[in-house]
Amino acid sequence: MNISIFGLGYVGCVGAACLVRLGHSVIGVDVNANKVRLMREGKPTIIEEGIAELCAEGHLSGRLTATMDVREAVEKTEVGFIVVGTPSTKEGHLNLNYIYTVAREIGEALRYKEGFFTVAIRSTVLPGTNKKVGEIIAEASGKERDRDFTVVSNPEFLREGSSVKDYFNPPLTLVGTDNKKAEEQFRDIYKGIDAEFIATDIAVAEIMKYVNNTYHALKIVFGNEVGNICKGLNIDSHKVMEIFCKDKQLNISPYYFKPGFAYGGSCLPKDMKALKTLAHDLYVEVPVIESIYHSNELQKSRAVQLIMQQGKRKVGILGLSFKAGTDDLRCSPIVDVVESLLGKGFEVRIYDKNVKMSELTGTNKDFILAKIPHLQHFVTDDLDSVCLNSDVLVVTNKEREFGDLLQRYPDKTVIDLVRQWQEVDYAGRYEGLSWGDINANREAQEAEQKQDKKQTEF
């Protein structure tokens, strides 16, 4: 495939050389005459292991060249990658001027081009940039998005020092697009790379690099804080983290990485608090570890606010224990939510088939009685009774018996704290705690919300 790359900096140079190795013909574009000269001579614009050999190879094959002429590059290619810089402003925002300038230049060049052209944003940008780039190109070209051109988001996951190796061995290939033709083009571009190809929503692709890098930063800080605690105890922190990383079932896995409700139970709150206290006793500052508790409390508050926003007083809580399939109420996050709702005068009913008040003993019983002394008046194992007598149903555990809840009670407001359903087609009102609108039946939902607004004084 004939490909143009706008920006011959770090990512652009690596991308150009690697795409040639994959069998494509590449034209690099840059405003810097020296970078263009180097690329034309088969030399890299950066220092990186393996890049010089790839550039020389591309030059000898005649499939790697460069120009300062945007129109020439657009005319000769079917796909153009934007890989210019997105530096931070003083206030911490992204400076997208380079992105928008290149988009306008591509749009102006498209005025004279016949055939479909795909623009790929490779630079790290925030959600919404793809849409804006499309608007700029449409305005400058006089052409229509998805008829004459399209814009996809194709973030890179390269590390300096090993970028060539990372390019050919990525964890995955991610393309955000709403255009089938563009998706097929990119499947063809990357067909020589042995990695899962994921086509997804544009906004999802745009935010992924930020999520990845923020998590990488968190891992470094977390490791450092653990190390500082270990040093205070004269423990080998590298051995600790080496063993930590061997657990691929929980520690390094997708198990806990699911947006939803707060954590609870007898282990996480107790052990996290103990580690934080140990650090305090050693006079070691651990702000990341200390902030975990606060963030967890905020998630409980978000749940309370979400329930209150529905404007209805009768609330049914489906699941009281901290986890499905158990009767353990210790530090169950929904207990704090119930306590808050009762304090604000809500009429609360609770369903949990596993929690039997007469059988609670020890710390489990002590915890719940300290929080809600008269719990026996609110909890029952009769699901229908709770649902029929509540206007708002709050799903707190992923129990199989809740699977058909939307079909059985189509007129309720349902608050989902655990992503019980991946997709929803519900005539009532559905809202998730930490994810966007997944209800396919939005018209009915919006109509119900308008009706409630008219009838409710809250």
Residue range 256-302, pLDDT digits in tens: 888 888 888 878 888 888 888 889 999 999 999 889 888 889 999 99
What is the SS3 assignment for 122-179? Answer: CCCCCCCHHHHHHHHHHHHHCCCECCCEEEEECCCCCCCCCHHHHHHCCCCEEEECCC
Average pLDDT of the chain is 90
Q: Is 414 left (phi over 0), alpha (psi -120 to 50) or beta?
A: beta
pLDDT at 455 over 70: no
Catalytic, 267? Answer yes
Q: Exposure pattern of 193-227 as b/e (b: 16+ CB <10 Å)?
A: beeeeebeebbebbbbbeeeeeeeeeeeebbebbb
pLDDT at 449 over 90: no
From residue 88, give the alpha-carbon distance in Å to each of 65, 94, 95, 391. 31, 5, 6, 47
pLDDT band at 446 (very low <50, low <70, confident <90, very high): low
2-200 maps to which CATH number? Answer: 3.40.50.720
Q: What pLDDT does 245 receive?
A: 94
Q: What is the pTM of this model?
A: 0.80
User: Distance between CA atoms of 319 and 304, rounded to whole angstroms?
Assistant: 15
Sign of dihedral through CA atoms 14, 20, 23, 25?
positive
Please indicate whether the domains covering 2-200 and 298-455 agree at the CATH topology level: yes
Q: What pLDDT does 126 receive?
A: 87
Q: What pLDDT does 194 receive?
A: 93
Residue range 48-82, pLDDT digits in tens: 899 999 999 999 999 999 999 999 999 999 999 99
341 within 8 A of 315, measured Cβ to Cβ: yes
Instruction: Give the three-class secondary structure for 379.
Output: strand
The residues near 437 (Cβ < 8 Å, ≥ 6 apart) are 431
Residue range 327-385, pLDDT digits in tens: 777 778 898 999 999 999 999 999 988 877 656 667 667 777 777 777 777 888 899 99
The one-letter code for the residue type at 218 is L
Of the residues 55, 230, 267, 331, only one is catalytic, namely 267
Residue-range domain boundaries for the chain: 2-200, 298-455
CATH topology of domain 298-455: Rossmann fold (3.40.50)
pLDDT at 458 over 50: no
Q: What pLDDT does 457 receive?
A: 46
- Burial (CB < 10 A; 0-12, 13-18, 19+), residue 92, is exposed
